[in-house]
Amino acid sequence: MIYWRHEPIAISPTRGGFDSDGVFSGSAVMDGEVPTVIYTGVMPPLTPTDATLRDGAHTWREVQCLATSHDPELRTWDKSAEPVIAWPPPGLEVTGFRDPFVWREGQAWFLALGSGIKNKGGMVLLYKSTDLRQWAYLNPLIEGTSNKKDTVNPVDKGEMWECPDFFPLGGKHVLLISTEGKVRWKVGTYADQRFTAEKEGIVDWGAYYAAKTMLDADGNRILWGWIPEKRSDAELRAAGWAGCMSLPRALSLGSENHLEMRVAPALSSLRDKKLASLAAHAAPAERTCALHSIKIENLAGELSWQTAKASFSFTLADETGPWWSLKVDHSASASTLQVNEKSIQLPPLTTREMSFHLLLDASVAEFFCNDLHVHTSRIYRKPNGPLRAQMSDSELPILLSFEAWQLHPISPDRLTT
């Protein structure tokens, strides 16, 4: 999950087909020995009532398509001639109809589909099949409520839930949805083909969307996310590329059934030179020397540290000034993280310590606090020289440990412009 090889496009739109205007998100499963994908195809509606997607810029009909592959390299796929789910359930005025997520329960297949109801809220539709081709609609897996925002795009006001992902974890079930610009997690109970959420939160407070999970070879639940651009269309077109994938995150549930996220352990293989290693008993002079000795080159670095529960500021800066910054404030009722310009309110902390993990790769900075709160930044300014860690001498005593590494980029061409 670290080194990747670029392959040809696997599935692309078919002119005049049910996916003529786009091959959207979906799922890949093994149907016995046959790799099978079910994805959303979009096409122009024949009549206005056929449209399921109206976002102010597009009016499309969405259908669920199937393709199989008998190619060991998965480079060629055979599409089914007709959609496996052609229309929304009758009687529902849906605000979207896309992004199927497929899983197996016993002898049956189940499919969760992102949707929503106008003026009501987001919804995940649940289907069942024995062969992946004939699907019966069961009921909503879960329904949401409208936040009554006055926007044209139903995703922006939470009336359409995109990219549902649903899986068991730690004795509970977890649902991920993407809406209102964020990926949200819900932890709860799944029974009788319905999901009841008991806890919920935000997966990532920064540039992160359309998350998707998989199981690795050891059965760990791994989360991937799309890191979108935060620069203008003119800038990304001039650069010649847009968007990238996040680092893989291993998921677990905490003692209070909150979703925990940690960078997959395989990422440690990218570590090169160790830049700092500081223990809690280090003398003040050692702390200052260790912190000031950090020089992250080529925008490829990793930092991990623990502090006592206390307010402090931490900055990575070059000769021009701050490049990435963190400010932590505590009060009796709540704690606040300020990552660059983004302020994140945390619930009251019950622990006396805090842990932090930061990984840098070109224009991306992925930051984790207590394995619960994550913020992904896009920073396009190329540093003037190496990045150095800065923390005031008066705050250094709160450090319980600190480690930093220079990292190897995973490829020689990181498209950093």
Q: Indicate whether 263 belongs to any domain.
A: no
Check whether 417 has a pLDDT greater than 50.
no
Q: Indicate whether 10 belongs to any domain.
A: no
- Do 290 and 388 share a domain, yes or no? yes
pLDDT band per the 50, 70, 90 thresholds, residue 416: low
- Do 322 and 182 share a domain, yes or no? no
- Do 158 and 31 share a domain, yes or no? yes
pLDDT given for residue 282 in this prediction: 83
For 31-62, write each residue's pLDDT tens digit: 999 999 999 999 999 999 999 999 999 999 99
Check whether 334 has a pLDDT greater than 70.
yes
Q: Indicate whether 141 belongs to any domain.
A: yes
Q: Which span out of 30-39, 333-342, 384-393 was modeled with the highest average pLDDT?
A: 30-39
- Do 55 and 183 share a domain, yes or no? yes
How many CA atoms, within 13 angstroms, populate the side-chain half-sphere of residue 196?
4
Q: Indicate whether 8 belongs to any domain.
A: no
Closest CA to 66 of 126, 131, 127: 131
pLDDT band per the 50, 70, 90 thresholds, residue 203: very high
User: DSSP label at 296?
Assistant: B
- Do 192 and 275 share a domain, yes or no? no
pLDDT band per the 50, 70, 90 thresholds, residue 415: low
pLDDT given for residue 292 in this prediction: 85
- Do 192 and 279 share a domain, yes or no? no
Residue 267 φ/ψ, nearest 5 degrees: -65, -20
Q: Which of 182, 202, 222 is the last residue of a domain?
A: 202
User: Which pTM was predicted?
Assistant: 0.95
Q: Rounded mean pLDDT of the chain?
A: 94
- Do 292 and 198 share a domain, yes or no? no
164 versus 151: the higher-pLDDT residue is: 164
For 301-323, write each residue's pLDDT tens digit: 999 999 999 999 999 999 999 99
- Do 107 and 190 share a domain, yes or no? yes
Q: Indicate whether 171 belongs to any domain.
A: yes
Q: Mean pLDDT across the stretch 137-149?
A: 92
- Do 278 and 179 share a domain, yes or no? no
Residue 59 φ/ψ, nearest 5 degrees: -130, 110
For 60-73, write each residue's pLDDT tens digit: 999 999 999 999 99
* Spatial distance between the Cα atoms of 313 and 67, rounded to a whole number of angstroms: 52
CATH classification of the domain holding 95 = 2.115.10.20
Check whether 413 has a pLDDT greater than 90.
no
- Which domain, by its residues, includes 288? 269-407
- Do 38 and 170 share a domain, yes or no? yes
pLDDT band per the 50, 70, 90 thresholds, residue 351: confident
* Spatial distance between the Cα atoms of 311 and 395, rounded to a whole number of angstroms: 8
Check whether 95 has a pLDDT greater than 50.
yes
- Do 152 and 280 share a domain, yes or no? no
Q: Indicate whether 254 belongs to any domain.
A: no
Q: Mean pLDDT across the stretch 175-202?
A: 98
Q: Indicate whether 183 belongs to any domain.
A: yes
- Do 279 and 378 share a domain, yes or no? yes
Residue indicated by tokens 């590329």: 241
Check whether 412 has a pLDDT greater than 80.
no
Q: Mean pLDDT across the stretch 198-217?
A: 97
Poorest-confidence range of 50-59, 177-186, 370-379, 407-416? 407-416
Q: Indicate whether 172 belongs to any domain.
A: yes
Q: Find out whether 120 and 159 touch, Cβ atoms under 8 Å.
A: yes
Cβ-based neighbour number of residue 175 at 10 Å:
23
Residue indicated by tokens 């925008």: 299
* Spatial distance between the Cα atoms of 205 and 221, rounded to a whole number of angstroms: 21
Q: Mean pLDDT across the stretch 22-34?
A: 97
Q: Mean pLDDT across the stretch 126-152?
A: 94
Q: Which of 202, 221, 244 is the last residue of a domain?
A: 202
- Supply 213's token pair: 């999970």
CATH classification of the domain holding 365 = 2.60.120.560
> How many domains does the chain fold into?
2
Check whether 88 has a pLDDT greater than 80.
yes
Q: Which of 202, 219, 234 is the last residue of a domain?
A: 202
* Spatial distance between the Cα atoms of 271 and 303, rounded to a whole number of angstroms: 11
